[in-house]
Amino acid sequence: MIKQHTILTVFLLVFSYSFSQELTFNKVKDSILSIIEKEDIPGISLAIINKKDSLYWSGGFGMADIENNIPMTKNSLMFIASTSKNFIALSIMTLVEEGKVKLTTPIKDIIPEINYKNPWKDTNPITLEMVLEHTTGFDDTRYNNFIGEDDEYLTLKELLNTYPNALHSRWKPGTMFSYSNLNYTLAGYIIEKITGMPFEAYVKQSILDPLEMNETKLTNPTAKYPNIAIPYGYDFKNQKNVPFFQNGKVGANFMQRPASFVITSSKDMLKYLNFYLSANENNSLIVGKASIDRMENGETSYDAKLGLDGRYGLGNKPGLREVQLFGHHGNAWNTSFFLYNREVGVGYYLATNCSFGIPQIRRLLTAFLFKDYKIETTRNYQSSEIAKPFEGFYEAVTSRNEMLLFFDQIRYAGNLKVESDTVCFDGGLKQRKYKVFENSTEKLISLNRVDKRFEKQRNMSSLGLMYDENNEQVLVWDTGTATVYFKKKSAFIHYFKHISLFASIPILAIATLVILIISLIKTIKRRFKFSVINTTISIATLSLALMIFIGIPSGPFDLIALGEMNLKTILFFILSMVFPLVSLIYIKEVVKHRNKSLSLWLKIPYSLICFSIIYLNVFMLQNGFVGLQFWNY
């Protein structure tokens, strides 16, 4: 959607105002209009509060419905996707305050009927707070959990037990964070078990009704509600916005509901913002200050031990800026941000009826809300030599999606070293520099990023070094949008396995092409003979190409379709069995003919193909691609 030639213009427009006393709210609104016009954004819904300046405003910019010329207003409704998780966590906290459940309660004591696997259940049982903080170790929503076009309404118990494979702790619960939508399906079901009512009804009773959020809906995110804003995708070929749901829809159980279920307006979100910003006054309509404090501070992960400032709390992900903005964001066919700071008394809700993350507008709002803010005190550093024992090569050991770990390890790997009293880490495809905070110990080291453009994050810890319960060294890195956990690995093995993978595919393709050309030449000269070797490798190459084509979705509806039993997913399953089978036949034939006289032009490609298919089969076996049934994964 972004028009590349406008990015510099918008960047200069936003930052010409940054932290300037001249930046008024009228200028902010003018800038938003300019940005959405230049970036071709359909519409923006905004609620904003600055208590000090008595600014309480909600409204819209652009269009809610382009085809019918309906403008975006404060009453326009939008699906806010994962921002819904904050509502679930807040609902849980009402039950905690009422004494109906404790955050430390093991979930097996609440929902024993749900099938989940925890190999460490005796020493590390999964608790309610681990569910809300995403430290269960569960995989994220798998393809078959999207529940795409199925309109049959399933109970949460049915949803959780229909596809339980992702509910498997991949590491000890309560150690490492990994965002999983299924955690909030569990949380929604826990609400139902405790209250005896649908989670939507309890959210309405405990949050919407007290705050008089009368326009907010909690079911069917693609329903044609009055005032609903039409979601748009961008047609790059014709350079225009087009309705997102032209040829598809999502079913009644999309994303397992409690993880993404709120449809709301900026008018209602202004009330929700005001609730959070008034929590310090101890006269809350929903929960008290202590509960909001707990929501903003994660306690169950390594990040908490290290004191990383951006650690995920209870449905709440703090940012890593000079002043922390707490809250959540969501992205589906719409994008939403709900962010606030109680200390300063500011916050905003920002949503757009497209999937673009609108960073220019977020930077503009941050500059406006914190234009008078000054850092009163700064944390001190100590010598970085304390980090010397942690020097070495690190590779990611966690991934939001288990199937994608191998690919995440490509970008999340690198060296950590101490130079000139600075800790340097290049584990995210570029080098970053850090200083050690003075409260660090030899076992728990908390670091602050000190690259030139990060001076305003002087008090924020975003990297940690520690020893786990097995005395292994762990590196924890908060990227700002994700948390990645690393352990020391062999650099040689890391580069060998990844280079081998990406070399194997073109080697297989080129070598097969050479064989086909030679076969074509022989056919023309009437010297062609059927060859098992050439036939099997041709089938193997075609199978691999089709698997890659099927397995990489081109859009959200293709992604949803991968979770269903259809022609494509059945074909992928068949091809994933055909590839290793014909590979074995090929290797057997090559070994059988190894002593026969072959031209050099054939020996080289045959040898390269042998290496490639052996490595690709090992890769597929290790990562679960052989015999993969997406609909039952």
Question: What counts of helices (H) and strands (E) characterise the chain?
Answer: 18, 19
Complete DSSP assignment for 167-197: -B-SS-TTT-----HHHHHHHHHHHHHHHSS
Count how many Cα atoms sit within 13 Å of the Cα of residue 282 in the half-sphere of its side chain.
Answer: 1
| Paired tokens of 564 | 């269903």
CA-wise closest residue to 72 among 51, 58, 84, 53: 58
pLDDT class of 253 with cuts at 50, 70, 90 = low
Contact 339, 325 (CB under 8 A): yes
| Paired tokens of 4 | 């590349």
Q: 78-357, which class in CATH?
A: alpha beta
pLDDT class of 464 with cuts at 50, 70, 90 = very high
CA dihedral 28, 34, 37, 39 (to 10 degrees): -80
User: How far, in Å, CA of 574 to CA of 629, rounded?
Assistant: 9
Biggest distance spanned by C-alpha atoms of the chain: 92
Burial 434-460 (b: 16+ CB within 10 A, else e): bbbbeebeeeebbbbbbeeebeebebb
The yes-or-no verdict on residue 422 having pLDDT over 50 is: yes
Q: Is the dihedral of CA 524, 529, 530, 533 positive or negative?
A: negative
Supply the pLDDT for residue 455. 65
Share of the chain above pLDDT 70, in %: 89
Complete DSSP assignment for 594-613: TTS---HHHHHHHHHHHHHH
Query: What 3-state class would DSSP assign to 40?
Result: coil
Supply the pLDDT for residue 19. 43
The yes-or-no verdict on residue 112 having pLDDT over 80 is: yes
Supply the pLDDT for residue 81. 92
CA-wise closest residue to 140 among 408, 468, 498, 488: 408
Contact 254, 221 (CB under 8 A): yes
Cα distances (angstroms) measured from residue 445 to each of 390, 414, 425, 623? 10, 19, 14, 33
Q: Which amino acid is at 496?
A: F
CA 528 vs. chain centroid, Å, equals 53
Q: What is the pLDDT of residues 259-278, one digit of tens each?
A: 999 999 999 999 999 999 99
- Residue carrying structure tokens 């084509």: 549
The yes-or-no verdict on residue 552 having pLDDT over 90 is: no
User: How far, in Å, CA of 131 to CA of 183, rounded?
Assistant: 5
Higher pLDDT, 215 or 537: 215
H or E segment to which residue 36 belongs: helix 25-38
Residue 338, strand partner residues: 328, 349
- The helix-helix angle for 85-97 and 181-195 (nearest 10°) equals 40
Same fold across 78-357 and 381-489: no
Sequence-distant (≥ 6) Cβ neighbours of residue 283 within 8 angstroms:
none
**What mean pLDDT, rounded, does the chain reach?**
87
CA-wise closest residue to 27 among 16, 38, 11, 37: 16
Name the least confident of 160-164, 211-215, 345-349, 367-371: 160-164
CA-wise closest residue to 478 among 250, 302, 232: 302
User: How far, in Å, CA of 242 to CA of 555, rounded?
Assistant: 14
Sequence-distant (≥ 6) Cβ neighbours of residue 553 within 8 angstroms:
559, 561, 562
Q: What are the residue ranges spanned by the domains of the chain?
A: 78-357, 381-489, 493-632
Name the least confident of 202-211, 328-337, 427-436, 505-514: 505-514
- Residue carrying structure tokens 């959990």: 145
Supply the pLDDT for residue 240. 85
| Paired tokens of 565 | 């039993």
CA-wise closest residue to 113 among 202, 195, 190, 200: 190
Q: Which amino acid is at 293?
A: D
Supply the pLDDT for residue 522. 74
H or E segment to which residue 503 belongs: helix 491-524
pLDDT class of 356 with cuts at 50, 70, 90 = confident
CA dihedral 465, 466, 470, 473 (to 10 degrees): 30
> 596-605: long-range contacts at Cβ-Cβ below 8 A with a sequence spacing of 24 or more?
601/514, 601/518, 602/515, 602/518, 605/510, 605/511, 605/512, 605/514, 605/515
Sequence-distant (≥ 6) Cβ neighbours of residue 398 within 8 angstroms:
170, 171, 176, 178, 405, 484, 485
Residue 478, strand partner residues: 483
Q: What is the pLDDT of residues 490-512, one digit of tens each?
A: 999 999 988 998 899 898 888 88
Sequence-distant (≥ 6) Cβ neighbours of residue 125 within 8 angstroms:
106, 107, 108, 118, 173
What's the burial of 528, exposed, middle or buried (CB within 10 Å: 0-12/13-18/19+)? middle
pLDDT class of 5 with cuts at 50, 70, 90 = very low
CA-wise closest residue to 219 among 245, 168, 253: 253
Sequence-distant (≥ 6) Cβ neighbours of residue 566 within 8 angstroms:
none
The yes-or-no verdict on residue 533 having pLDDT over 50 is: yes
User: How far, in Å, CA of 623 to CA of 610, rounded?
Assistant: 20
Mean pLDDT confidence for 323-348: 92
Q: Which amino acid is at 62?
A: G
The yes-or-no verdict on residue 21 having pLDDT over 60 is: no
Complete DSSP assignment for 142-154: -GGGS--S--S--
pLDDT class of 18 with cuts at 50, 70, 90 = very low
User: How far, in Å, CA of 288 to CA of 278, rounded?
Assistant: 10
What single-letter DSSP state applies at residue 443? S
Supply the pLDDT for residue 598. 62
Asked: is 381-489 a CATH 2.40.128 domain? The reply is: yes
User: How far, in Å, CA of 595 to CA of 22, rounded?
Assistant: 83
Contact 315, 90 (CB under 8 A): yes
